[in-house]
A = this chain, B = another copy of it.
Amino acid sequence: MGTVLLDMSVSLDGFVAGPEDDVARLHRWVFTGAGTENMRFSDELLEVLDDIDAGAVVAGRRTFDLASGWGGNPAIKVPHVIVSHDVPDEVASGVWTSFVVESGVEAAVARARDLAGGRTVYVLGGADMAQQCLNAGLLDELQLHVVPVLLGKGIRLFEHLEAQTELRLVSAVPGAETVRLRYEVVN
């Protein structure tokens, strides 16, 4: 059965977004090229995605909304399971076909496992999703792209955790500016 992997960018002080959901600094490594016309995904991101080999994506509704549903056409060309109590209009109407909706994290991860067909279930956030998945014991691995900045405030990745969780460091790979830390969840 495929691995369930949380993969997120985080500042060294543990924030996945600054005030007002600002992720520009934290996601800078994801893009290359100046201006909206020439901007494209960085080679580093493409390597990461290739390495993850996702068969399905799980994202929270807030992440879906903040990303404007990736315009209905997410970069990762696999089914996206959105955790939400209601179905976004574009999904309900059948216009956006990349998405399915589940109302809780356990159902969402189970659905994503089915859809992934043995490939990785890629949990891409946000923080609330990550916390719910950790508390429900749904994650096999964590991968953090640690961005070399102290934001000082914003949305913390690790909060509201109900138990101590042991991990095992799998790898630590420096990128152009980040370091990618990969952990296996031990218990």
Binding site for B on A (CB under 8 A): 12-14, 18, 25, 134, 142, 144, 146, 148-153, 157-158, 161-169, 171-174, 177-179, 181, 183
CA distance A183 to B12 in the complex (A): 10
CB <8 Å contact, A169 and B148: yes
What is the count of identical protomers in the complex? Answer: 2
CB <8 Å contact, B161 and A150: yes
Q: Which residue in chain B gives the minimum CB-CB distance to A15?
A: B158
CA distance A142 to B12 in the complex (A): 11
Q: Which residue in chain B gives the minimum CB-CB distance to A142?
A: B12
CA distance A106 to B152 in the complex (A): 21
CB <8 Å contact, B146 and A152: no
CB <8 Å contact, A152 and B162: yes
Among B152, B163, B169, the residue within 8 A (CB) of A164 is: B152
CB <8 Å contact, B179 and A150: no
Q: Which residue in chain B gives the minimum CB-CB distance to A180?
A: B172
CA distance A174 to B138 in the complex (A): 26
Among B151, B165, B178, the residue within 8 A (CB) of A150 is: B165
CA distance A149 to B173 in the complex (A): 19
**In the complex, how many angstroms separate the beta carbon of A165 from the nearest chain B beta carbon?**
4
Assuming A13-B158, A151-B164, A172-B174, what are 8 further A-B pairs, CB within 8 angstroms?
A: A12-B142, A13-B161, A14-B158, A134-B150, A150-B158, A152-B161, A169-B178, A171-B174
